[in-house]
Chains A and B, each alone.
Chain A
Amino acid sequence: MKENSIALLAGLLFGLGLGVSQMIDRDRVLGFLDVTGVWDPTLLFVLGGAVGVTVIAFRFVLRRRHPIWADKFYLPTKKDIDRALVIGAAIFGVGWGIAGYCPGPAITALVLGIWNPVLFVLALIAGSLTYKSLSQRNS
């Protein structure tokens, strides 16, 4: 219950942040990615602001032995730069450049009442499940 209330609050702040910063407007994101056009620096400020907070705050948080309401920190364990990381990130980038949405803004943009974020999120789930089944078959 406590865990869910923090998840709700954190989700709310996340969605609010993506709205306030206008990352739910894909033209702003594409305006940032289109470096040879009329460049829009918005995304740089959003990512900079967010990472500015996490770089400082995470240092203090991760100094604790465990989180305030949980037994342990659930952190990624992989450390090596492998093929999956490089190729996966590149495929993600191509999709991002085509649609102008990444997962967070796409989900938040569902409230705008237009179809493309809905199609995007459904296709995102399909793509994710496709990779999952391919990687399970190969292992």
Chain B
Amino acid sequence: MAEFNWLTALGGGLLIGLSATLLLAFNGRIAGISGIVNSAITFKKDEIWRWTFILGMLLGGAIYEYGLAFEPTPKSTFAPWAAIAGGFLVGFGTRMGGGCTSGHGVCGLGRLSLRSLVAVLIFLIAAILTVFIVRRVLGLTL
């Protein structure tokens, strides 16, 4: 893995913060990706902006990967069952808890929401414990 680069990490974070600010300032919307997906898949007419946002994410990712990146992003391969099980739990949990890293993290913390702070602390601790159990207790490399 490439070494830690605080400049690209911070720069990427600033772009995400700018994105969330633009969406709130102009459209009055929260840039929470799980919420955007949940409403997008209802295919209601007034939810088209959510598909536009998702299209923008793919464009932004492609511009980075195939235009700006000095080297291709490592294609981490892991067991497909882990992608499926993880995806199911993430979809279930973010709908139940009303947000993910962007909705509760980037936007909720930005609004100084106590609910979001609690959610962020819980999902971070749960994720750290899960990785510890998977890697150190079970000795698996997922």
Q: Give the shortest distance, in Å, between B40 (CB) and chain A (any CB).
A: 10
The reply to whether B106 and A115 form a contact with Cβ atoms under 8 Å apart is no
When distances are taken between beta carbons in the complex, the residues of chain A under 8 Å from B25 are 57, 61, 64, 67-68
Residues 51-70 of B contacting A (Cβ, < 8 Å) = 52-66, 68-69
Residues 14-28 of A contacting B (Cβ, < 8 Å) = 14-28
CB contact between A93 and one of B15, B85, B87, B122 (< 8 Å): that residue: B122
Residues 101-139 of A contacting B (Cβ, < 8 Å) = 101-104, 106-112, 114-117, 119-132, 135
Main secondary structure of the interface of A (DSSP, over half): helix
Q: Which A-chain residue is minimally distant from B9 (CB atoms)? A: A45
Q: Does B111 contact A (CB under 8 A)?
A: yes
Q: Give the shortest distance, in Å, between B90 (CB) and chain A (any CB).
A: 4
The reply to whether B126 and A94 form a contact with Cβ atoms under 8 Å apart is yes
CB contact between B22 and one of A13, A71, A123 (< 8 Å): that residue: A13
Given contacts A72-B28, A92-B94, contact A50 B20 (CB under 8 A): yes
The reply to whether B12 and A67 form a contact with Cβ atoms under 8 Å apart is no
Given contacts A20-B15, A33-B131, A104-B101, contact A11 B56 (CB under 8 A): yes
When distances are taken between beta carbons in the complex, the residues of chain B under 8 Å from A16 are 12, 15, 60-61, 63-64
The reply to whether B56 and A14 form a contact with Cβ atoms under 8 Å apart is yes
The reply to whether B100 and A102 form a contact with Cβ atoms under 8 Å apart is yes
CB contact between A97 and one of B37, B68, B120, B131 (< 8 Å): that residue: B131
Q: Does B43 contact A (CB under 8 A)?
A: no
The reply to whether B16 and A49 form a contact with Cβ atoms under 8 Å apart is yes
When distances are taken between beta carbons in the complex, the residues of chain B under 8 Å from A19 are 12, 60-61, 63-65, 68-69, 73
How many chain-A residues does the 8 Å CB contact rule pick out? 115
The reply to whether A131 and B83 form a contact with Cβ atoms under 8 Å apart is no
Complex alpha-carbon distance, A122 and B92, angstroms:
12
CB contact between B82 and one of A43, A61, A98, A135 (< 8 Å): that residue: A98
CB contact between A54 and one of B21, B41, B88, B93 (< 8 Å): that residue: B21
Complex alpha-carbon distance, A72 and B37, angstroms:
21
When distances are taken between beta carbons in the complex, the residues of chain A under 8 Å from B1 are 25, 27-28, 31, 40
Known contacts A102-B100, A103-B90, A107-B33, then 20 further A-B pairs from the complex at CB < 8 Å, ordered by chain A residue: A15-B58, A15-B60, A19-B68, A20-B15, A24-B65, A30-B131, A46-B13, A50-B105, A54-B109, A57-B21, A58-B24, A67-B24, A67-B25, A76-B98, A81-B118, A85-B118, A88-B95, A101-B86, A102-B101, A128-B94
- Report which A residues bind B (CB closer than 8 A): 2-4, 6-28, 30-31, 33-37, 40-43, 45-55, 57-58, 61-62, 64, 66-76, 78-81, 84-104, 106-112, 114-117, 119-132, 135
